[in-house]
A = this chain, B = another copy of it.
Amino acid sequence: MRANAFYAQSGGVTSVINASACGVIETARKHRSRIGKVYAGRNGILGALREEMIDTSAESAAAIAALRHTPGGAFGSARYKLKGLDQNKAEYERLIEVFKAHDIGYFFYNGGGDSMDTANKVAEMSRKMRFPVTCIGIPKTVDNDLPFTDTCPGFGSVAKYVAVSTKEAALDVASMALTSTKVFILEVMGRHAGWIAAAGGLAGQTPADAPHVILFPEIPFDQPAFLARVKASVADYGYCVVVVSEGTRHPDGRFLADAGTKDAFGHTQLGGVAATVAEIVRSQLGLKYHYAIADYLQRSARHIAAKTDVAQAYAVGQKAVEFALAGENAVMPIIVRTSSRPYRWSIDKVKLSRVANREKKMPRNFIAKDGFGITAACRRYLEPLIQGEDYPPYRQGLPNYVALRNQPVAKRLPEIVIK
């Protein structure tokens, strides 16, 4: 049996999601007797629904290899969640119809928890419709919130970016604090979980080292305690570095970023949480501050990706194909830690049905008792994930990222309107 494969990227992209694509395509190319062409979804799953697919066989081996060091989503990704089977069976039927029209027997879906749920439902639907498609999920999310796997490809590189940036900015602030900025705030991603903020904690080893305060979404914001910590840090070390999760909340559940501030027209100001924290520092302590918002820079910073993360991203792509060829279905490769120091890991698998819609939260014992830092256990977990550098090649001073030809696959079905 030989069939084509369909690969799609889902949700927020990362600096290493293309490394997973590289793992899928390179591995598929090694098994041409079983896997025909690898088609990629233009803009993720929408590419299947709209029958807008990309023929990756038109890309040279060098171009595919270059995916390993290229951030972003090479075929386009999408924030598009398929509804439940009962609510929107037509969409699943359409998917299967497109797969059928293009002789697609393998579906590789590269995303987070929602996407694993979708992949699982596609597997179910393909059984029901008696058009067997092997459905394999490939983990990806900077949020690091998928269960079972030691970490999620994409997270380690964000963690490294945040730890390095915190360390570097802290050196800047420390050197100027006597006559300039005393409090520096770095806003990082993490709406529900503080994994990324926690990574900032790797920048320092002792209480004197930055960051002096980390604000987690898991810990309700205690303004008096926070201000006391900032004040003490400035008194003791001359300055204070704060890493704040975008998802930090007031005790009543409101996001800090939703500070009820209004613009000149009376509209609610959509501000970053860093600006809110800075304003609290200014108004309550009168200290000079600066803040940075890493935003997309953190999850696209392939130039400072963690070597471990790149290797794992590639490995889950490769293993996804190997699992499919070994007859597995409705599973997701996971990373299993076999040792922390030195970090050793292997790839296993878990049923998609067990992954779907389950979030891995930060354990409370990873956050310091006072809520403002990370524990030794957290450090032991995180440290291996930022190991190693995996620099992209450069040309004319800039990373030489690949732009694929992205040749479309000719449509075979009548057009329909999606969305």
Contacts and interface: CB of A to CB of B under 8 A. Distances in A.
Interface in A274-329: 274-275, 278-279, 282-283, 290-297, 299-304, 306
A178 B76 contact: yes
Nearest to A403: B171
Interface residues of A, number: 83
A85 interface: no
A224 to B, nearest CB: 18
Nearest to A176: B77
A299 B283 CA distance: 27
Contact of A174 (B72, B180, B292, B306): B72
A112 interface: no
A370 B300 CA distance: 30
Given A180-B79, A269-B269, A391 B389 contact: yes
B264 A263 contact: no
Contact of A179 (B78, B176, B272, B275): B78
A184 B295 CA distance: 10
Contacts of A387: 396-397
A259 interface: yes
Nearest to A209: B403
Given A168-B301, A293-B292, A175 B278 contact: no
Contact of A383 (B80, B175, B275, B397): B397
A175 B73 contact: yes
A195 to B, nearest CB: 16
Interface string A91-133: 0000000000000000000000000000000000000000000
Interface stretch (A158-166, A225-233, A248-256, A409-417): A158-166
Given A296-B290, A388-B397, A175 B264 contact: no
A121 to B, nearest CB: 19
Contacts of A297: 165, 168-169, 186, 292, 294, 297
B279 A270 contact: yes
A36 interface: no
Given A269-B269, A271-B275, A398-B202, A76 B15 contact: no
Given A178-B46, A264-B261, A397 B13 contact: no
A214 B220 CA distance: 39
A416 B156 CA distance: 51
B74 A300 contact: no
Interface in A183-210: 184, 186, 202-203
A301 to B, nearest CB: 6
A22 to B, nearest CB: 15
Nearest to A386: B397
Interface in A371-418: 383, 386-389, 391, 394, 396-399, 401
Contact of A263 (B15, B176, B261, B401): B261
Interface in A11-64: 12-13, 15, 43, 46
A419 to B, nearest CB: 9
Interface of A: 9, 12-13, 15, 43, 46, 70-80, 160, 163-165, 167-169, 171-176, 178-181, 184, 186, 202-203, 259-265, 267, 269-272, 274-275, 278-279, 282-283, 290-297, 299-304, 306, 383, 386-389, 391, 394, 396-399, 401
Given A72-B175, A263-B279, A270-B275, 8 more contacts: A75-B175, A77-B176, A78-B180, A165-B297, A263-B269, A271-B271, A304-B304, A388-B397
Q: Which 6 A-B residue pairs are closest in the complex by CB-CB distance?
A: A72-B171, A73-B175, A386-B397, A292-B295, A168-B300, A172-B300
13 contacts: A13-B175, A43-B178, A76-B175, A163-B397, A186-B297, A262-B262, A262-B264, A263-B279, A269-B269, A270-B282, A293-B293, A383-B397, A391-B391
